[in-house]
Amino acid sequence: MKIRLAQQDDLNAIMRTENLCFGDERFETGVVKAFLARRDSFGLVAMNRDEVVGAAMCVCSPHYSLGRIISVAVLKEFRRRGIASALIRECEEEFVRRGFTRFALEVASDNIAAIRTYTSIGYRIEGAIKDYYSHGRNAFYMEKDLTMDGRKTKVKVS
Ligand SMILES: CC(C)(COP(=O)(O)OP(=O)(O)OC[C@H]1O[C@@H](n2cnc3c(N)ncnc32)[C@H](O)[C@@H]1OP(=O)(O)O)[C@@H](O)C(=O)NCCC(=O)NCCS
C-alpha cells in the first residue's frame, strides 16, 4: 500500500471512494476537483497496486494557523488495516511541510469508527457543534497540536 498526493487524474477514482463511503453525503465532483487544484488545499490517495482504496482531503487555514482535515475515507474491504491512520499521518506531514503544526477536523458524533481512529492517533475532542451535518446530526470538533507539551506526536518531515 502506497500513499501519495492526489492528482486531477485521480478524480474519478476518488469520487468512487467518496460514493461508496459517503453515499448522499459525498462531496460534489466540483468540490473535490477544487481541493486538488487549489494551492491552499490538497488530497492524498492510498493505493493498493493501481486501485485507489482510500482518500483524504485537506485545507490549509493560515488565518487560524490550522491544517484542516476535511474528509477521510477507506473502502470497506480495506478497513482496519491502518490505512486511515496512515493517510492522516501523511496529511500531517504535508501540513508540517507547509508550516502548520496544529490540525483540526470535524466528525459526526455518532461516527464511532472515525472518532476512535482520530483519538488513536492523538486527536482530542475540543468541542461539540450542534446540527453540523444534514438530518440534524451533531459533530465533535477535534484537534491535535504538535507543539503542546504532553501531546507531542512524532511526525517525520522529509
Ligand atoms: C473511519 C474510517 C476512515 C477508518 O478507516 P480505517 O482504515 O479502517 O482506520 P484504521 O485502520 O486506521 O483504524 C485505526 C484504529 O481506529 C479504531 N477503529 C477504526 N475503525 C473502527 C471501528 N469500526 N470500530 C472500532 N474501532 C475502530 C481502531 O482502534 C483502529 O485500530 P485497530 O484496527 O488496530 O484496532 C473508515 O471506517 C471509513 O472510511 N468510514 C466511512 C467514511 C467516514 O466515516 N469517514 C470519516 C468521516 S470524514
Please give the pLDDT value at position 119. Answer: 98
Q: Is 1 in the pocket of ligand 1 (CB under 6 A)?
A: no
The region of weakest confidence among 14-28, 43-57, 144-158 is 144-158
Residue predicted with more confidence, 136 or 11: 11
For the CA of 74, the closest atom of ligand 1 is: 39
For the CA of 22, the closest atom of ligand 1 is: 42
When pLDDT is cut at 50, 70 and 90, the band that residue 134 belongs to is: confident
Residue 115 Cα to ligand 1 midpoint, Å, equals 8
Residue 60 has a CB neighbour count (10 Å cut-off) of 20
Quote the crossing angle between the two packed helices 11-22 and 29-37, to the nearest 10°: 130
Residue 21 Cα to ligand 1 midpoint, Å, equals 12
3-state SS, one letter per residue, for 74-106: ECHHHCCCCHHHHHHHHHHHHHHHCCCCEEEEE
Q: Is 98 in the pocket of ligand 1 (CB under 6 A)?
A: no
Rounded percentage of the chain residues whose pLDDT exceeds 70: 94
Q: Which residues does residue 41 pair with via DSSP β-bridges, in sequence order? A: 59
Ordered DSSP codes for 97-158: HTT--EEEEEEETT-HHHHHHHHHTT-EEEEEETT-SGGG--EEEEEEETTSTT--------
96-121: per-residue pLDDT in tens? 999 999 999 999 999 999 999 999 99
30-57: per-residue pLDDT in tens? 999 999 999 999 999 999 999 999 999 9
Please give the pLDDT value at position 155. Answer: 43
Please give the pLDDT value at position 101. Answer: 96
Pocket test for ligand 1, best of 16, 116, 121, 129 (most atoms within 8 A of CB): 116
Residue 92 Cα to ligand 1 midpoint, Å, equals 17
Contacts of 92 (CB under 8 A, 6+ apart): 67, 103, 144, 146, 155
**Residue 145 grid coordinates:** 497540536
The rounded Cα 7 to chain-centroid distance in angstroms is: 16
> Domains plus CATH for the chain?
2-145 (3.40.630.30)
Q: What's the DSSP call for residue 14?
A: H
| Largest CA-CA distance found in the chain, in angstroms, rounded | 42
Q: Does residue 153 have a pLDDT over 90? A: no
Please give the pLDDT value at position 24. Answer: 87
Q: Is 46 in the pocket of ligand 1 (CB under 6 A)?
A: no
When pLDDT is cut at 50, 70 and 90, the band that residue 149 belongs to is: low
Mean pLDDT (the chain, rounded)? 93
Residue 92 has a CB neighbour count (10 Å cut-off) of 24
